């Protein structure tokens, strides 16, 4: 099996802290910059799975960098540099405590809620008579709280504003940015013969200005369908051909795991791990239109550290 990096524990000059998320290791440098190392960890149902996925971090980081660049005319983003295929360095922003989830289709979590009989999600109506993966008449925003530990929770716009999580003025700006970035993402996906089904965005503030932060339009944060054959599959009641992390969730559910208390993660065999890696590479090539170039992973930790250290030496 190819080398994968599950976690890092580097010590950079002027490092103030290290935060380990589900997938990313985030270093605070001098209170000014964040170093975000996208590991090869994979999570599902808010649980980090036991095996790393080779090249996954590179896939996520490079897709995110490409789409941040493609949307910087809509909203400024936090990125300063990408010194390594698995690393992004950017400005520290104060994150909003909500994730802006936007859905163009009745899929994933929205479908599971709909199938259970719900006809509103985060205060947004979902019409009767829809089938799984049907297109909404217009995209709906279904925010979640941003949990540092455990599960994110659905929340409505009114609840966000009433609770003071985000001010009314800022939230309406986040809505506007979310719709505009999603539309751009759908346009790019369409050119690649894909459908951007749903995704999430995170925003923060620096010096009173809103920035797009974290990652966008990656398979960890987004769901894609192949456009070719979509209508026919819907008409015939067949599953859509997806490019997303949903196939990992489905594999886990088939084996009785949904992240609930008492459930055990099924064994991730080398064949399964490599098949997930191949799916991530397939997604990269389909989304970006670029051939994926596997980087040398013989001394992965050393490469990441040296590239990041050299970048920081020019910034601090």
Q: What is the pLDDT of residues 17-37, one digit of tens each?
A: 999 998 999 999 999 999 999
For the segment 115-143, the average pLDDT, to the nearest whole number, is 98
pLDDT grade for 112, boundaries at 50, 70 and 90? very high
* 310 shares a domain with 286: yes
- Pick the closest to residue 68 from 152, 163, 177 (CA basis): 177
Per-residue confidence (pLDDT) for residue 148, from 0 to 100: 61
* 64 shares a domain with 83: yes
How far, in Å, CA of 85 to CA of 62, rounded?
A: 6
- Pick the closest to residue 212 from 240, 173, 186 (CA basis): 173
- Of 225, 244, 263, the residue that ends a domain is 244
Domain residues for 75? 15-94+245-315
* 167 shares a domain with 64: no
Per-residue confidence (pLDDT) for residue 1, from 0 to 100: 45
6, part of any domain: no
10, part of any domain: no
* 238 shares a domain with 99: yes
> Per the structure, how many domains does the chain have?
2
Give the phi and the psi of residue 96 in degrees, each rounded to 5: -70, 145
DSSP bridge partners of 95: 204
pLDDT grade for 260, boundaries at 50, 70 and 90? very high
* 105 shares a domain with 81: no
* 59 shares a domain with 23: yes
H helix or E strand, kind and range, residue 277: helix 270-288
7, part of any domain: no
**Helices 270-288 and 246-254, interaxial angle, to 10°?**
150
- Give 244: exposed, middle or buried? Use CB within 10 Å, 0-12, 13-18, 19+: buried
* 118 shares a domain with 87: no
Per-residue confidence (pLDDT) for residue 283, from 0 to 100: 85
pTM, 2 dp? 0.89
Q: Which residues contact 29 (CB under 8 A, 6 or more apart)?
A: 12, 13, 14, 15, 16, 35, 312, 315, 316
Answer whether 197's CB lies under 8 Å from 62's CB: no
Residues found in the chain: 316
Which tokens hold the place of 185? 């993402």
**∠ CA(195), CA(137), CA(185), 5° rounding?**
30
DSSP bridge partners of 195: 225
Give the phi and the psi of residue 304 in degrees, each rounded to 5: -60, -45
Q: What is the mean pLDDT of the chain?
A: 95
Per-residue confidence (pLDDT) for residue 135, from 0 to 100: 98
Tell me, what CATH number does 77's domain have?
A: 3.30.200.20
The DSSP secondary-structure symbol of 241 reads P
193, part of any domain: yes
Is the pLDDT assigned to residue 196 strictly greater than 80?
Answer: yes
51, part of any domain: yes
Per-residue confidence (pLDDT) for residue 38, from 0 to 100: 96
Answer whether 200's CB lies under 8 Å from 101's CB: yes
pLDDT grade for 43, boundaries at 50, 70 and 90? very high
Distance, C-alpha 87 to centroid of its chain: 15
* 209 shares a domain with 168: yes
* 231 shares a domain with 99: yes
79, part of any domain: yes
- Of 244, 266, 281, the residue that ends a domain is 244
* 256 shares a domain with 200: no
Tokens 């456009």, residue located: 227
Percent residues over pLDDT 90 in the chain:
90
- Of 223, 244, 265, the residue that ends a domain is 244
* 106 shares a domain with 76: no
- Give 277: exposed, middle or buried? Use CB within 10 Å, 0-12, 13-18, 19+: buried
């Amino acid at each position: 099996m190819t080398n994968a990096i599950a976690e890092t524990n580097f010590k950079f000059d002027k490092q103030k802290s290290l935060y380990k998320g589900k997938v990313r290791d985030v270093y605070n440098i001098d209170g000014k910059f964040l170093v975000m190392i996208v590991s090869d960890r994979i999570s599902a149902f808010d649980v980090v799975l036991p095996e790393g996925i080779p090249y996954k971090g590179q896939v996520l980081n490079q897709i995110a960098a490409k789409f941040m660049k493609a949307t910087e005319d809509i909203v400024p983003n936090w990125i300063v540099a990408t010194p390594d295929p698995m690393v992004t360095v950017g400005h520290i922003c104060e994150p909003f405590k909500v994730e802006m989830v936007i859905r163009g289709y009745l899929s994933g979590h929205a479908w599971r809620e709909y199938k259970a009989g719900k006809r509103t999600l985060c205060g947004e109506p979902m019409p009767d008579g829809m089938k799984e993966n049907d297109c909404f008449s217009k995209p709906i925003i279904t925010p979640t709280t941003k949990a540092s530990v455990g599960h994110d929770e659905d929340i409505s716009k009114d609840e966000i504003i009433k609770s003071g999580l985000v001010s009314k003025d800022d939230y309406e700006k986040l809505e506007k940015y979310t719709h505009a970035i999603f539309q751009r993402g759908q346009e790019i996906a369409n050119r690649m013969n894909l459908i951007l089904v749903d995704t999430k965005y995170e925003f923060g503030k620096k010096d009173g200005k809103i920035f797009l932060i974290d990652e966008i339009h990656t398979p960890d944060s987004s769901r894609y369908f192949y456009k070719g054959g979509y209508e026919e599959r819907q008409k015939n009641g067949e599953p859509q051909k997806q490019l997303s992390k949903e196939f990992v969730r489905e594999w886990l559910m088939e084996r009785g795991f949904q992240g609930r208390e008492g459930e055990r993660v099924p064994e991730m065999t080398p064949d399964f791990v490599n098949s997930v890696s191949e799916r991530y590479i397939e997604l990269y090539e389909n989304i970006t239109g670029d051939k994926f170039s596997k980087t040398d992973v013989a001394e992965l930790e050393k490469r990441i550290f040296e590239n990041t250290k050299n970048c920081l030496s020019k910034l601090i």
